[in-house]
Structure 1
Amino acid sequence: MKNILLTFLLISIFSCKEKKEEIGPEISIIKEKKIEKRNEVFISINDTIKSFETNLFVDEMQDKPDILYLGQKKNKTSVTIPTQNTIKILGGAPWFSFFYELELEKGDSLLIDVRKVNLNKSKQIEYPTFTILNSTKTWSENNFDYLLYKYNINTKAIVIDENKFQNNKYDSEKVYLNSIKLLDSLKANNSISNKFYSANRINQKLKFASSKIKEAKNQKTEIDIENLEIDLNDEKLIANNEYISFLRTLILYKYFNKDKRVLNSVQFDFINDNETFLNKNTKLTLLDSYLKSIYFIEKSKFDKYLTKFNTVNKNEEFKNKWQLVIDKQNINSKKLNATNRNVGTLTNLIDDNELTFEEVLLKHKGKVVLVDFWASWCAPCRKEMPFLKDLKLKFNETELKIIEISIDKDYSAWVRASKLENLSNEIDNYIISNWEKSNLYKNYNIKTIPRYLLFGKNGKIIDENAPRPSERELIELIKASI
């Protein structure tokens, strides 16, 4: 989730004709009265795109990304995401050495298109490009990584092998020099702001420095850190994620050079217990970064290391951040813990009533009932959601009732996914407690999801493993049962 590189494209930064075509339309900055932005982000794709998938993070402390599916084949071309914060979409293909990342603020409206990039004679990819319709950011800023990737391919800074993924070549120094040339060119054309130019020159330098250190560690060679010309305790960069990533890479090189894999908890203890090149503020920021990794990767150790962190932490911002994480954990536990919810209890987001499955089924007697078992982390489940929505439109609610039951163990993940799938205001969108101990799990032998149960008007089961909503057979089965 975390190792996201940003590399993107340009056919030729020195050709005026190509520059005009690839850099794309500039969005003029018009001064106007400040308006209140809505607490949502709207994302749509070009209606010619058949299929597009990307990772979505709506919360900094989100354990796993939501998968956003859009396109003709997905039966979904847009989505509105409720948020009061910055959200992030990211994706790519490591075997082609391309990755993209884009941050969106509340109120943004994003249009996604794709452009074909020829990697070599036999391989071609579709690279996403982004236009934020109501933003002061230029097209070149939103698509800098795309421009750089294409430039790297054309100058052979990145070479994709015709036959094998393992033989791809990535020249980190050439990629870095290309990034500086591209930034200079875009700035000269007024295609990017001075702020974007300065920030990205620093980030590209940090990425190159990190790659040099990793190379030295892997090849067991010496590297002169001073030649990298990066201040190891730069207060201005302390909030920069790329800077923290550089420092973490340097820690592994300087203090764990002989080790192939070092746990984040081990690195935390070393930095916490020993004198290093880090000053007080940089050390605390790095410990915070390790704690975040422990939260995601070494979950069972989190409470112990949070206590250690709080012992040395005097920063209110860090304190408040981790307190919010704890508060969310407590809410999650309260909602789904066995001591608060009976086994197999169903509850929704509207009234939080506790119901049994039999009670839910009974209140819809006289209708055909389709039960969908899903989870926020289940990609095939989420792909079927637009087709479920179509079923609701095809059949009258007096004929067919669709019941959603999430088996999520993370309550907040279910809430987030319900909002994304427009299910949060539906009375029959439930989460089940203690799923694997429930009678539903045992009676219908539900060991994989998505799974669909179809019940007749009399409340009796018609099909214990009904076709998926995207399959025509399900529509015919429902029609025959009404």
Structure 2
Amino acid sequence: MKILNLFFIGLLVSISSLASAQSDAEIEKMIVELHKPTKKISDSIGKLMQETKSKIETEIDSVVKENLKLRSDTLFNAFDDNAINELKQDFVFAKKYPNSLAALKLLRRHVNRFIGMNFYDTYVEVFQNFSPEIRNSEKGKEMAQNLQYFKQSKVGSTAPSFSLVDSNGKTISIDDFKGKQYVLIDFWASWCGPCREELPYIKELYKKYHQQGFEIISVAKDDKQDLWKKAIEKEQIESWRHIFTSEDNKNIIKNYNVNGIPHKVLIDKNGIIIGKWKGSGENNKHDLQQLLKSIFEAE
């Protein structure tokens, strides 16, 4: 009888696991259907973006080229707006299925992306709505950790502290600048094309505002120090501080929630994050420039 009872208990566990798997499989199918409208839009915009990029690369006329760049920015905005609309509908969907790992997976999909930067409170609300079993699962614990990194690196938070050795062998800490300077941390790499394309623009900002209390710390996600040092020299950006992230000091990447580059963080004199930009593009450049202008040209 005891053996029989154990058999039925095992059978019930198997059936329960199968039902859960089927349920998540069904939910995943629902998610595919849910995303069809936004996917159609993103595919369409993506095609236009690629066509515009190709035209920019081959266009000789400077006026036409500038207009193409403006069109590219408009398309980027439309692409992001569509992605944000998808994120909002995913929040609603995930909240309907608090016992589903598939719904948690859906939420995790966006958490580190640019479009999710301004939705921390919503992420927390939806995550807390999941059942204790889902929150305490392996994926749930990973999500909780992601949200912690998100919280400490978002605009309005105190910048995570660090103490690292720069390219000149000198120790550098974010606390060194408190009460003195605004600091832009620029996460980049020698192999990152978009990162290096932005350096002339960054150099202009440094030249314009450095004497007024603007400092830059470049943090490289490079694999080889020699390539990193060659890039610094070639781009002529020795004027500011540089940090190479090795296996021993990669916590700065996690603590600032950096998942892709370029990634920029602006910190005020009180050590508070006041700006954050993921990715490249004219919109990000414009936002950073306007924020610095409001700080230094208003003082």
Q: TM-score range by the shorter chain?
A: 0.3 to 0.5
Bigger CA radius of gyration: 1
Give the structure with the higher percent helix: 2
Give the structure with the higher percent strand: 1
By relative contact order (CA 8 Å, sep 6+), the higher-ranking structure is 2
TM-score normalised to structure 1 length: 0.26
